[in-house]
Amino acid sequence: GGSGAGGGAGGGSSQGGAAGSGSGSGAPGGGGKPPPDPRFPHASLHALHRLAMDPSKITSPGAHVDELCICIPDVYPKSVHHGLVVARERGLDTPSELTPSHLPLLSHMRRVAMRWIWQVAQGHTGSGDGAELVFRLGFHAVPSMRQLHLHAIGTDLRGANMKRKDHFMSFATPYFMPLDQVEAQLREQGRVAVDAAAANQLLKGPIVCHRCGAAGDPGGKKAGFSFPQLQAHLATCRAQYPGGDAVGVPDSEPKL
């Protein structure tokens, strides 16, 4: 039991959690269970698809809906602020299915994500070190929920549902593909190359702080932190995420 690298609405394992009903039709006006898909074998893993196809099922206050995408908070947040921008195109589930024709969609999803970041910052009342208001935009290489979804996630990685090693590794390693990188691959190569086996191995590597590079006790027998050690470290780490894909809060509300 319990969620995987994030939870889908209605339970089950997932790297992103849907804000809405965990049951219902797979398309507007349709009934029954979602079609079989070996990549997404459980009904809960279709929750984002159901919301994208029928936004009337969204229960999150302040959700964004337009013809191209929806934007909702992840209900199993891995950082203090963790949002999802979900494409509404039927049949578009993973980054590897993107083509250069999707570049305008990705640009729109970026604008929606940046507006969400601006909106959550207006209500931010935390007393943290600032990492929760420095964000990354990107996709999981091997998403475990159906329907392409862009993560907008704070670099603190100390959300209420950051509970396991694989949760952390899915955002702190190249398993997390920055939006900039995905767009560049589409422009330069015409596709997004994903080696699923190699990506999944990244989840099993040593735990290293994504902010300062600390990797546990230098004299220890095993490289990397244990997950409880990482949590204790992140509670006191004051380094800022050094990656070039970091984005801050816009000065004014972005226009769509």
User: Which positions are catalytic?
Assistant: 149
Q: What is the 3-state secondary structure (H, E, C) of 57-122?
A: HECCCCCEECCCEEEEECCCCCCCCEEEEEECCCCCCCHHHCCHHHHHHHHHHHHHHHHHHHHHHH
Residue written as tokens 């999981």? 140
Q: Are 234 and 157 in contact (CB under 8 A)?
A: yes
Beta sheet of 64-65, edge-to-edge order: 64-65, 69-73, 82-87, 149-154, 135-140, 176-178
Question: Taking the chain, what is the end-to-end CA distance rounded to the nearest angstrom?
Answer: 40
Which residues lie across from 72 on neighbouring strands? 84
Report residue 32 as tokens. Answer: 């029954």
Half-sphere exposure of 94 (CA within 13 A, CB side): 19
